[in-house]
Amino acid sequence: MDRLIPINSKNDIPEKYRNTSIELLLEYHNLNKPFETYSTAQLLIGMCMDNRKHMHIPDNFSYIIRTGGANMRYSEFKISFAIGVGGVKNMALIGHNHCGMVNLVSKKDQFINGLIDNAGWTKEMAEENFMNFAPMFEIGNEIDFVLSEVPRLRRRYPKILIAPMIYLVEDNRLYLIRENA
């Protein structure tokens, strides 16, 4: 946890994020900044699809792409749309602790049996689906994954300011991830 930067006051926000929509995200979510009114998105948030996470932000403030593990590898067209058409200049990539995309092999039987019971799949179909896609969506460690994904996205979108973050489900707060730890 020494890799996380808690945001408990405006002074905790690093200089490079000041006066940006990333600062606003941290103020809205963690510091209960009163909501302003937005007619266009100010930010792109890439985050996990996990149901335990909810952003405390105003309406129309952000595009949000939710995908398992905050894995944006297969969402680049949507990211490009938010930037090219939506005009956003900043992105927050938000992983979270206790993510289901970590150690997917441990969930293999539950995954297969759930598809058989809940979706009516055959065992063979469910096994094939798991074996084909689990390697693409396994993220390993949540913090390490975000820290590997941010530089990739920065190379792809060099003019976009991208902040690596973690959402802790225990306290429902956002933390910046220290990149040079």
- Enter the pTM of the model: 0.93
Sign of the CA dihedral running 109, 115, 121, 127? negative
**pLDDT 10s digit of each residue in the chain, 181 long?**
689 999 999 999 999 999 999 999 999 999 999 999 999 999 999 999 998 888 999 999 999 999 999 999 989 999 999 999 999 999 999 999 999 999 999 999 999 999 999 999 999 999 999 999 999 889 889 999 999 999 999 999 999 999 999 999 999 999 999 998 5
Residue range(s) occupied by CATH 3.40.1050.10 in the chain? 4-99+140-177
CATH superfamily to which 4-99+140-177 belongs: Carbonic anhydrase (3.40.1050.10)
> Which residues are within 8 A (CB) of 97 and not within 5 positions of it... i.e. 6 or more apart?
142, 166, 167, 168, 169, 170
- The first and second tokens of residue 76, run together, are 């680049």
For residues 156 and 105, give the distance between their C-alpha atoms in angstroms, rounded to a whole number.
30
